[in-house]
Chains A and B, each alone.
Chain A
Amino acid sequence: MYRSQRLGLKYLTASTVMFGAMIAFGVLSSIYYIRPGFLLNVFNFSTAKIIHIDGLVIWLLMGFLGAIYWFLPQELEREVEGIALAEILFWVFCAAVAVVVVVFLFVQYGSATEASMWFINQGRKYVEAPRWAALGIAAVMGVFAFNVIGTAVKARKSTGILTVLILDLVPLVVLYFDAFPEMRNMSQDLFWWWWLVHLWVEATWEVLIGCIMAWTLIHLVGASRRVVESWLYVEVALVLGTGILGLGHHYFWIGTPRYWFAIGGFFSALEPLPLLGMVVHAVYDAGSHHLRAANRPAFYWTLAEAFGNFIGGGVWGFMMTLPQINMYSHGTQWTASHGHFAFWGAYGCGVIAVLYLALEKSRGYEGIDGRAWKWSFALLNIGMLGMVGALLVAGMDQAFYERAIGGSTWNAFLAMQGRPWFIEGMWTRFASGLLFACGYGILVYDLLAARPREATVSDSMAAAGS
């Protein structure tokens, strides 16, 4: 195993741990909705939520880094350039995350000074981590980009997938600069903030996971490189072709000009198209392998990625993206429903697929199967569907009563929180979150205890050419 692959395994392990932390704080956050006054002034909702959503970003980023450190040396058939520095920075990254979490837990917030921004809490969604930590993350990503690009330069070659990844890394890292400034004008703040968030999760991250899935397909089912690369180019064209100006669907209500209604709405409405293409491709691949692959969990999580991305991002997104609907769905639990589903489908499932693939290869197994992964797969997905469904019902009720009828005042908000469907939605979300957490527990058990797949009769028949 290359050193880079060992580092990849470390990142994937850290990613799995952060996934657990995210779930823990997610379940905690959901309790505040069902127990009024829970931990008031001891540990407020905002702090629990911050660790939940920042944990989301960190576990996925670590998953991406782990995947790429795993695949890169195999792609170029050489050790990764600057790997020693990357190994040190892994520990620095983990330590920084730990310190940030400890400060969130025990200090929580500071007074209105620059010192608070630098050392405690920046208070901007997803990027609340204090500036010193943001610098640390920027350094980790900078070194990561150097590792990737430097290896290609030293090897004097690149592949199609790697070139797409390298070109994608540049905007991905540059966009992170929005994690630093504190802008007086809220319209301007949100304008640039959406460059970071949307152009990460609906553009550069989509390309990134596309590259990772391309490598996964090659190593999982022996997909042809040419096929996978051609498809990657098609997907990149469609995802960026729709996603770059689809950014405008966040510019309806923040004070920006009205032309964003047409531009944002139009391109956003096109965003499901590449996702439908991914579904077709996934069904094609699944069918052509007769729903069999040696590493069954990785295979099924890859399928889940394609479908989850389409339904969570495409279907749920399209429901709420047109301005006439969005006026009422904006900033409600409906948004949270879409957010949870899309992140899970587009990125969570993909990282789990890589976890299983790396697990198989690193232990020298020929395939993976068993019962535990199926339980984990079922509980995680059913738990997610439960959460998303509950939030959708609560959110639609909210859009109807609080926004459309109530006019979004303080009293309309409070009245809404007491409505029966809303309360039931919050309880259902909490219960589903517990299911999801159980699924995670079994996932961890399976990753630790997974056994190689035993060859079956149907396998030998397939090999014999039936």
Chain B
Amino acid sequence: MAELEQRYTQDPLFWRAGAIATTIFMSMVLAALTIDTLRQITPGSPRVPSYDVVNNSITYEFDPARAEYAPKVGGEELIFGHKYSAEEASDLVGKGKLVIQSRACIDCHTFFGNGAYYAPDLTRAWMDPVWMRYAGPKRADKLAVFLMHPLRLGARAMPDLHIQRDEAEAAVAYLKWMSSVDSNGFPDRFGAASGQ
């Protein structure tokens, strides 16, 4: 037995075969999981609402069944005085993504915790207690104005990135849609500390 073990393990080709087999197997599992995951994160799925969720109210509440916080989509709560069709919402959110990329927001902020750590996480920015004092339509306006003319709040100032009104509205719509995505409870206890 020991001789067999030695003969195999001393042979580089044994390990080469192992490396190839392991890589192929793991890659196949990853491919299968990727197909399933992509399906589950397509807008309109239970985890990722479709883009016209921007027409609805979105809150973040503790779900006892899951023992974690989860976004909850409610009744109609429009932004910018407009009810967006599915296509309009998709275009608006698409433009919002372009705003976020063109200004490299992810190089100061985090989205689902990914990005830079110089500025707050934006996953639930739509529901941040600072904005929650305003009802949906007014909140959207306040947020858009902030993006266009950032106030210096606290020691960490947000720069003026020359965001135009239409870009600001698109970015706000993006943040609203993104806040409805089920991120498995991240960030935990968002808003709970301030009694929301």
A and B touch in the complex (CB under 8 A): yes
- A188 nearest CB neighbor, chain B only: B41
Contacts of B154 in A (CB 8 A): 414, 417-418
Q: Which of A247, A253, A409 has the most CB of B within 10 A?
A: A409
- Given known A122-B101, A186-B181, A252-B184, contact A50–B107 (CB-CB < 8 A): yes
Query: Contact between A255 and B182 (Cβ–Cβ < 8 Å)?
Result: yes
CB pair B155–A407 under 8 Å, yes or no, is no
Please give the distance in Å from B189's CB to the nearest CB on chain A. Answer: 4
Give chain A residues whose Cβ lies under 8 Å from the Cβ of B23.
Answer: 236-237, 240-241, 244
- With A160-B16, A336-B117, A407-B187 as given contacts, are A37 and B98 in contact (CB-CB < 8 Å)? no
Chain B CB count within 10 A is highest, among A187, A240, A412, A417, for A187
Min Cβ gap B42→A in Å is 8
Closest to A398 in B: B117
Q: Which of the residues B12, B113, B167, B187 comes within 8 Å of A112, measured between beta carbons?
A: B167
A111→B33 contact, CB < 8 A: no
Q: B86 near A: Cβ within 8 Å?
A: no
Task: Determine how close the nearest CB of chain B comes to the CB of A185; give it in whole angstroms.
Answer: 6
**Chain A positions within 8 Å of B134 at CB level:** none
Q: Is B57 an interface residue (CB 8 A)?
A: no
Contact B113 A253 (CB under 8 A): yes
Q: Cβ of A230 and Cβ of B33 under 8 Å apart?
A: no
Q: Contacts A407-B189, A414-B156 known; A331 to B121 CB distance under 8 Å?
A: yes
Report whether B193 and A412 are in contact in the complex, using a CB–CB cutoff of 8 Å: yes
Question: Interface stretch among A8-16, A90-98, A123-131?
Answer: A123-131
Q: How many Å lie between the Cα of A252 and that of B114 in the bound state?
A: 11
B37 on interface, CB distance cutoff 8 Å: yes
Given the complex of chains A and B, what is the CA–CA distance between A80 and B119 in angstroms? 48
A40 to B152, CA, bound (A): 11
With A186-B111, A230-B15, A330-B186: A112-B102 Cβ-Cβ less than 8 Å: yes
The answer on a CB contact under 8 Å between B30 and A409 is: no
Cα–Cα, bound, A189→B101 (Å): 11
Question: Which chain B residues lie closer than 8 Å to A436 at the CB level?
Answer: none
**What separation, in Å, do the CA atoms of A435 and B170 have in the docked complex?**
44
Inter-subunit contact A112/B98 (CB<8 Å): yes
Contact, CB under 8 Å: B47 / A255: yes
Q: Does B161 contact A (CB under 8 A)?
A: yes
Interface residues of B in 108-154 (CB under 8 A from A): 108, 110-121, 124-125, 128-130, 152-154
Of A117, A253, A408, which one neighbours B184 at CB under 8 angstroms?
A: A253
In the assembled complex, the Cα of A414 lies from the Cα of B98 at a distance in Å of 27
Residue of B nearest to A120 (CB): B102
Cβ of A410: which chain B residues have Cβ within 8 Å of it?
A: 120, 125, 128-130
A233 touches B19 (CB 8 A): yes
A257 to B32, CA, bound (A): 13
Interface hit among A41-49, A134-142, A364-372: A41-49
Distance in angstroms from B170 CB to nearest chain A CB is 7
- Does A244 lie within 8 Å of B186, measured CB to CB? no
Do residues A409 and B27 form an inter-chain contact, with CB atoms below 8 A?
no
Bound form: Cα–Cα A234–B190 in Å: 45
Instruction: Select one of A44, A116, A331, A417 contacting B114, CB under 8 A.
Output: A331
Q: Do residues A37 and B157 form an inter-chain contact, with CB atoms below 8 A?
A: yes
A32 at interface, CB cutoff 8 A = yes
Contact A117 B102, beta carbon cutoff 8 Å: yes
A407 and B191 in contact, given A184-B97, A255-B183 (Cβ under 8 angstroms) = yes
In the bound complex, residues from chain B placing their C-beta under 8 Å from that of A335 are: 117
Q: Does A216 contact B (CB under 8 A)?
A: no
B85, CB-defined interface residue at 8 Å: no
Q: Does A182 contact B (CB under 8 A)?
A: yes
Which residues of chain A have C-beta atoms less than 8 A from B176's C-beta?
none
CA distance A49 to B116 in the complex (A): 9
Q: Measured between alpha carbons, how far is A410 from B112 in the docked complex, in Å?
A: 14
Contact between chains at A406 and B193 (CB < 8 Å): yes
- Asked whether any CB of chain A lies closer than 8 Å to the CB of B76, the reply is no
Q: When the two chains form their complex, are residues A253 and B183 in contact, meaning their CB atoms are under 8 A apart?
A: yes
In the assembled complex, A249 has its CB within 8 A of some CB on chain B: no
Interface centre among A236, A260, A336 (most CB of B within 10 A): A236
Is A327 a contact of B15 with CB atoms below 8 Å?
Answer: no
Q: A112-B98, A182-B101, A188-B41 are in contact. Are A244 and B107 (CB under 8 A)?
A: no
Q: Is B194 an interface residue (CB 8 A)?
A: yes
Chain A positions within 8 Å of B22 at CB level:
237, 240-241
Nearest opposing residue in chain B for A234, CB measure: B15
Besides A45-B116, A46-B116, A186-B97, 13 more A-B contacts (Cβ < 8 Å) are A50-B104, A112-B103, A114-B98, A116-B98, A124-B101, A182-B97, A184-B94, A187-B181, A233-B12, A403-B188, A408-B187, A409-B190, A409-B194
Return 26 A-B CB contacts under 8 Å, by A number: A46-B104, A49-B107, A109-B102, A110-B102, A112-B101, A112-B103, A113-B102, A116-B102, A122-B101, A123-B104, A164-B19, A185-B42, A230-B12, A233-B12, A234-B15, A236-B23, A237-B18, A237-B22, A240-B23, A241-B26, A253-B112, A255-B181, A260-B37, A327-B185, A410-B125, A414-B153
